[in-house]
Structure 1
Amino acid sequence: MSEENETFEDEIGTLPLDAWHRGKGARMVPFAGYEMPIQYDGIVVEHNWTRDQAGLFDVSHMGQLMVTGEKAAEELEKLLPGAIASLKPGRTRYSLLMAEDGGILDDLMVTNATPWIEGDEEEGTEGHWGEPAYYLVVNGAMKWDDIAHLREHLDDDVTLTHMDEHALIALQGPNAATALNRVMRNVIDDSVFMDSLVHDFGEWPLRITRSGYTGEDGFEISVPAEFAESLCDRLCAEIEVRPIGLGARDSLRLEAGLPLYGHDITEKTDPVSADLLFALTKKRREEGGWMGHEAVAKVLADGPAQKRVGLEIDGRLPAREGALVYSGEKQVGRVTSGGFSPTLERPIAMAYIDTALADEGTELEVEVRNKRLSAKVASMPFVPHRYHRGK
């Protein structure tokens, strides 16, 4: 496999919008190798604003990769359990980067970014699809490992480009489309959840994908880093939009029941236990041909020992990652993410518990500060998703 733009950074880095965040009064913390804003006006305030209006998140720490070549889809399907070859141009899919032993190396979004080449009447040429291209967004903490893994396993005829000169902005909330349409002159009017398009906004070439990590309608916007600050200024000039930090991003994704890599899923977690079977299309689940298939098929056949579930916890004391889950005197699981839900005004958590106890409504206990708190298994998402899927 050929590659471009190889750069590895071990020290804490700064994002293109670092000065912009500080100018907005953000409190900065190290996260995924970068200084990032944890909050501006307070996590609960920012959480509620995103649920009611539109929040602007800087997610430029994420890895943005482009895989190109005639065999790009075929090669990606060796490593991802999803159907990549059947993904239509301009559509996005959630998928997993798998290890040989069935563990999850990362979760990611993959978009068929194959360009449409316009025809030229004067030259007598017709429009046609260009070289196959797939745009991947991977987790910031895992991007260097992902790049190394892809480089090792993709064929030499496929090119991997790290788009390290691009920022990534997420605009999330029920009024995200209203604000973005006002700024972008209705460019996303016809789009639905998991649609992706390229739009030249003046001198700013943007990729806009209708997706996000909050459970709300929203967009992720890939923009050349040199234009990121101007774009954020334009978006935040809209009355519905405010900058939002990592703290609210985490509480929003927890309410949405979305797993966080390195916590709710790791390389020791298989997709069956993680309740991510939707990322394994039925045909590929049965036919295999992707890394880790044999190990995952065995878990499917035998059933997982534990499953990722939601927990609703009595009282107001949140259970954090690592808290032990009990059924009677027996430890039956462990919390992987937890916190106080501003929307539900109660503690919620994700945990892995013994499969026999994973049914909704099962009564359990969680140990917090040496106290046993009553809890029960709850369906996820805790707060319903509001993705825009069209009429």
Structure 2
Amino acid sequence: MLAPDDRKSLKRTPLYDLHVSLGGKMVPFAGYDMPVQYPAGVLKEHLHTRASAGLFDVSHMGQLRLRPKSGKVEDSARALERLVPQDIVAIAEGRQRYAQFTNADGGILDDLMVANFGDHLFLVVNAACKDADEAHLRANLADACEIESLADRALIALQGPKAESALAKLCAAAPAMKFMDAGPHEVAGIKCFVSRSGYTGEDGFEISVPAADAERLAQMLLQNPDVMPIGLGARDSLRLEAGLCLYGHDIDTATTPVEAALEWSVQKSRRTGGARAGGFPGADKILTHFDHGASRRRVGLRPEGRAPVREGALLFADQAGGEPIGKVSSGGFGPSLNAPIAMGYVPTALSALGTKLFAEVRGQKLPLTVAAMPFVKNTYKR
């Protein structure tokens, strides 16, 4: 438990009072006081999101605007390509793309979403990294972009198969949006930025809303009987079932996109020939991994039995022991599967589906199998 003085140092999102009124159990997360669960509990919140619609407060995330000094959004896109291995120029207006900031060794400084709003780029970055990300942008892109932190905005996510019908009651544009569409839209008469995306593997939306309007909008969404408030606990189990990386756990400054099995996120224009290949931090190492493979790889893991295998558990090739060959990066119980699941890093030679491995849990070597991800099929609206 945090001492009262320590808790006072935590930041609060614009929805803090709403969380408390709804019975949220508040815990420290990335410097914020956040709800880990509500009275329904993590299991019910998780299953409700898979069956209906869950409302998440993700206002602790960083929101940034990159406005081109030239007036041409393509110039902001080209500038951002100095820092990420993705093709930002090719993001059409009204669309967004997943990206990573990389360092000189090819490691991941943070992962982020980048949207093209026509006259500027809109970025969403991780809470724990947002100050460093903003400084990184200012240090490297100030010649081409006006960089604005949108600290006066909240961010809420509406996820699940009934997310569209719930949001459609307040936003006429919602049903026509496809996965990774993004742009300015009115929601209940409030000027918002809406993307059809999320972190659960389910269809859904993320809504950037002025902080002053956030609680009113959340209350309107929660008036729908299909919508339940969801805390950090279920957010984590949902993203694990979806096989999605959590920064600082599954990816970090010592992990390249290829090691992390994120090759799909690096477009061909940035990695093979042509004038725009390379040119981002760590390009030599990352492109070598593309050409020749990396020595290790993130994989899905299905433990046998019922015991969860948690983050940090050492992995072995042999039940008899020997040297560990890898480590679990995320692990827990998958409520949708009624079984434990995990992700971890293993030598590429041991990364094939069906490979038998062992995890050390409380002094015992428990068997598990390299498995396909996502563990639960995604339902994105293509």
TM class, shorter-length: over 0.9
Q: Which runs of 5+ in 1 are unaligned?
A: 1-9, 115-131
Please point out which of 257, 262, 280 is paired with 1:290: 280
Partner of 1:145: 132
2:32 corresponds to 1:34: yes
Alignment size in residue pairs: 362
Q: 2:316 & 2:295 partners in 1: Cα distance?
A: 16
For 2:187 and 2:24, locate their aligned partners in 1 and report how far apart those are by CA, in whole Å.
Answer: 28
Q: Which amino acid is 1:171 matched to?
A: L
SS at match of 2:220: helix
Q: CA deviation at 1:202?
A: 5.4
Structure-1 residue corresponding to 2:4? none
Q: Is the 8 A contact 1:310 1:349 kept in 2?
A: yes
Q: For residue 156 of structure 1, report the CA deviation from its aligned partner.
A: 2.1
Pairing of 1:184-263 with structure 2 (within 5 A): 184=171, 186-201=172-187, 203-263=189-249
Q: CA deviation at 1:299?
A: 2.3
- Aligned position for 2:52: 53
Matching residue of 2:149: 162
CA deviation string 1:221-280 (max 9, x = no partner) = 000000000000100001110100000000000000000000000011001100001111
Shift of 1:204: 1.5
The answer to whether structure 1 residue 342 and structure 2 residue 335 are counterparts is yes
The match for 2:108 is 104
Q: TM-score, normalised by structure 1?
A: 0.91
For 1:255 and 1:14, the matched residues in 2 are separated by 28
Moved more, 254-263 or 80-89: 80-89
RMSD value over aligned CA atoms? Answer: 1.2
Partner in structure 1 of residue 351 of structure 2:
358
Superposed displacement of residue 11, structure 1: 4.0
TM-score, normalisation: structure 2:
0.93
Q: Which runs of 5+ in 2 are unaligned?
A: 1-7
1:301 aligns with 2:291: yes
1:298 shift after superposition: 2.2
CA distance in 1, matches of 2:148, 2:141: 13
Indicate the residue corresponding to 1:126 in structure 2: none
Q: 2:156 aligns to what SS in structure 1?
A: strand
Q: Counterparts of 2:187 and 2:340 in 1: how far apart (Å)?
A: 42
Q: Which moved more, 1:100-109 or 1:287-296?
A: 287-296
Whether the 8 Å CA contact 1:75–1:155 is kept in 2: the answer is no
Aligned counterpart, 1:15: 13
**Per-residue Cα deviation, 1:95-119 (whole angstroms, up to 9, x for no partner):** 11111110100001000011xxxxx
Give the aligned partner of residue 183 of structure 1.
170
Q: For 1:261-280, list aligned pairs within 5 A.
A: 261-280=247-266
SS at match of 1:147: helix
Summarize the alignment of residues 310-325 of structure 1 with structure 2, pairs less than 5 Å apart: 310-325=300-315
Q: For residue 75 of structure 1, what is the aligned residue in structure 2?
A: 79
Offset of residue 157 of structure 1: 3.3
Counterpart secondary structure, 2:325: strand
Structure 2 residue 360 is matched with structure 1 residue 367 = yes
Partner Cα distance (1:61, 1:386) in 2: 26
